[in-house]
Amino acid sequence: MRLVVELRSELPRQLSRIIAHCLEKDTSRRLQAAADLRNELEALRKELTLGPPSPRSSIAVLPFTDMSREKDQDYFCEGVAEEILNTLGKIKDPKVLETLPVLFEALDDPDPEVRDTAARAIGKMCEHLNPDLVSEEIRREMFERLLAKVSDRFAHVRSKAIRSLGKMARFGLLGDDRKARLGTILKRVLGEDEAGNWDLAYIVRAEAEKAKEHL
């Protein structure tokens, strides 16, 4: 089995060690509980935050592929990615913005799971950014890229894009003009505009209702 860092050289080697522990064939050598995984990732987050800068310090968490013979580990793959996202999303260093080009590229990936993860990652980032340190150019591109995904053919991608747009509004990253544009889009999703054609996916409409609370 190839190490993750052999496939993605920009990732820290410590992350390969954590993932390898999760995938050990010998169950006695695996991390035994979600709390253990969380602790390992928290320690890695602190090391990355406090340690010396790396020439390639950008990290993007993309979906893990189920390589098991039975193909029945999707829930585990999703859980690992989610836990890593939650931990890395708490990094408040402005340098975390350097990951945005990778996330923007991932938003246009052919794989809908990659697009879903990228949209979620941007939302997590919004939760911990200081709005005063985010330039207008970055805000505009984040907004436009996410807005484009509201029309994605896959409902779970649309819902994550709307959730992250709501977080941009909630955490002070949208001005009045963009809030107004987002409000218009949410009305369309909910069937509250003149056309009355709402998004057929409940998960999308549910996220739209939550996002409206922050406008």
Positions in the chain whose pLDDT score sits under 50? 1, 4-5, 52-58
The domain boundary residue, chosen from 88, 116, 135: 88
Looking at the structure, tell me whether residues 164 and 191 fall in a common domain. yes
Cβ neighbours, 10 Å, residue 100: 19
pLDDT recorded at residue 212: 96
Rounded to whole angstroms, the Cα distance separating 130 from 119 reads 19
Q: What pLDDT does 100 receive?
A: 83
Task: Give the domain range for residue 36.
Answer: 1-88
pLDDT of residue 45: 75
Sole residue written with tokens 């893990």: 64
- Number of domains making up the chain: 2
The pLDDT assigned to 125 comes to 85
Output the pLDDT for position 10: 58
Last residue of a domain, one of 88, 110, 126: 88
The predicted pLDDT at position 139 comes to 94
Looking at residue 74, its pLDDT comes to 59
At residue 205, the pLDDT reads 96
What is the C-alpha separation between 23 and 159, in angstroms, rounded?
A: 30
pLDDT at 5: 46
Contact by Cβ (8 Å): 87, 45: yes
